[in-house]
Structure 1
Amino acid sequence: MRNKLFVLLLAALTSTLANADIIHQEKSLYRNIFVEDRDNLRCLKFNVKDTLTHQSCMLKNDPDYLVFNYTKMMFASLLMIEPPKSVLIIGLGGGTMSNTIHHLYPDAIIDNVEIDPAVVKVARKYFDFIENDKISTIEADGRIFIKRAALRKQSYDWIILDAFNGDYIPEHLLTKEFLEETKALLSENGVVAANTFSSSALYDYESATYYDVFGDYYQVQTQRRSNRIILATKSGQVDSELITKRAEAVDASLKDYGIDIYELINAMSSTKNNQDWPKNTRILTDQYSPANLLNQ
């Protein structure tokens, strides 16, 4: 049943715009926003010209089901940490990650940071985004929030970087300085999980920059030329026996969301054994981060 559902989802996601009903559209201060329905699938888009740039999708009759593979890959983070008590998500989309984490860890504090108030409004109205006394939504630039959180001496067990502007990750969220600021917010045994793309022309630059800040890290890749999840901690590598123990602890609960934690373990690799970028790759900094130029 799951395989059949996946095939149907792929067909819906790759359908042309003419086959979808646009149920909401607006031009915000930051982007063009579209909400599309096609049968049981509802998707948020930031660019009408490209039918494959969906930012978030959900099944209307099963909002908890994780449609995108990369959202499932994000949960490899749980192999790096104990059950999180505090989570920071930069980039809201439809609120899928926040909702799922809340269902798994209802006592965890979750801070969602989204620069665009229109996206927050759409998530609330069209994507069943949950907000309560444990879940906060902050309308702010992610980097500014992180700077201010550091001044307040806040810390998080799990920091998720998932901000996109419709083309790629905003360039000020790619630099060494930003990653150093983010690392400073991690609890002692926390993890940063970043959604990037293995097909991006920025792959080498991103890899080198994360390595410069965190040292060796893990990456999760289940398909070629698709999403890559970077998992970085303050302490570097995690003992393999501990990873196995944590997988056993979360396996049953993650299956309810279509996540196979052992499949994710097989998709993980460490830069300790596989530094797949040139040694002379230039680090992205606040003075050198020409993301739009490089990502062509």
Structure 2
Amino acid sequence: MLFKTSSFYNQDIRVFGGFWGPKLFVNGSWQSGPYIRKLWNHAFRKFKIDTFKNIRTILILGVGGGTVIELLARRHPNATITAVDIDETIIDIARRYFHADTITNLRVVCGDAKVFVRSGNRYDLVIVDLFIGPKIPEFVSLPSFQKDLYRITKSDGYCCINYLREIMPE
């Protein structure tokens, strides 16, 4: 283990080293690492995200270990990426252990996603990757939040919500 801490939002945050690089484990759930990278690469292939033309602005709700940020920065190097996370500790870990600060077209905002989506900005691509450990915050499935997502996604843009759920032992 490289690092262990907690925050107001997450009681158990750990960073592990590994052959393929660091992995982030939060409240009993992997937030980055080879498995998460494989899942996102598979999703991006299925949605044919590499064929999306004119992606100039990307919003990512949820930073975690920055896997989605890194993958999209490589796929769309000319796009401006804004990533939002409510947990400053997670943002610091993404910078320190996952080198999010080396992505030059990235702006990271510490804030509440459900408030941020009410801003006037619109995006070509919106990715919702919000988790508190293995749980998706309840507001993600609310019609009001989804209407806000629709409003901030440009008319010819795309929105992807990660609803991956882990089966937790009882």
Q: TM-score range by the shorter chain?
A: 0.7 to 0.9
By how many angstroms is 1:35 displaced?
0.5
SS at match of 1:94: coil
Structure 2 CA distance for aligned equivalents of residues 89 and 195 of structure 1: 11
The question of whether the paired residues in 2 share the 8 Å contact of 1:77 and 1:193 is answered with: no
Partners in 1 of 2:61 and 2:95 — Cα distance? 17
Identity %: 24
Contact 2:124 2:153 in 1 (8 A): yes
Shift of 1:37: 2.0
1:124 aligns with 2:100: no
Deviations 1:114-166 (A, max 9, x none): 1100001111111121455521000001111111x2xx3x2111100001001
**Number of aligned residues:** 165
Which structure 1 residue ranges, 5 or more long, are not aligned?
Answer: 1-21, 59-65, 201-295
Secondary structure of the structure 1 residue equivalent to 2:71: helix
Partner of residue 24 from structure 2, selected from 44, 49, 52: 44
Alignment of 1:27 onto 2:20: no
1:6-155 equivalences in 2 (<5 Å): 22-31=1-10, 32-47=12-27, 50=28, 53-57=29-33, 68-75=37-44, 76=47, 78=49, 81-131=52-102, 134-147=105-118, 149=119, 152=120, 154-155=121-122
Q: Distance in 2 between matches of 1:180 and 1:198?
A: 22
Deviation, structure 1 residue 77: 5.1
What SS does structure 2 have at the residue aligned with 1:164?
coil
Shift of 1:80: 7.5
On the 8 A contact 2:58/2:82 being kept in 1, the answer is: yes
**1:99 positional shift:** 1.7
Question: 2 CA distance for matches of 1:143 and 1:111?
Answer: 15
Please tell me the residue identity of whatever aligns with 1:71. W
How far apart, CA to CA, are the structure 1 residues paired with 2:8 and 2:155? 37
Higher RCO (CA-CA < 8 Å; seq separation 6+): 2
Q: 1:120 to 1:190 in 2, by over 3 A?
A: same
Deviation of residue 79 (structure 1)? 6.6
> Normalising to structure 1: TM-score of the pair?
0.51
Q: 2:74, 2:145 → 1: CA distance?
A: 30
Shift of 1:42: 2.2
SS in 2 for 1:196: coil
Q: What TM-score comes out, normalization by structure 2 length?
A: 0.86
Structure 1 residues 105 and 177, CA, compared in 2 at 3 Å: closer, same or farther? Answer: same
In structure 1, what residue type is equivalent to 2:72? I
In 1, the alpha carbon distance for the partners of 2:78 and 2:62 equals 21
Structure 2 counterpart of 1:193, from 149, 157, 160: 160
1:195: how far off? Answer: 1.0
Aligned to 1:156: 123
Secondary structure, aligned partner of 2:22: strand
Q: Distance in 2 between matches of 1:37 and 1:82?
A: 36
Instruction: Tell me if the contact between 1:81 and 1:189 (Cα under 8 Å) persists in the aligned partners.
Output: no
Greater CA radius of gyration, 1 or 2?
1
CA–CA separation in structure 1 for the residues paired with 2:50 and 2:21: 30
Q: Give the whole-Å Cα distance in 2 for the aligned partners of 1:173 and 1:73.
A: 22
Q: Residue in 1 aligned with 2:149? A: 182
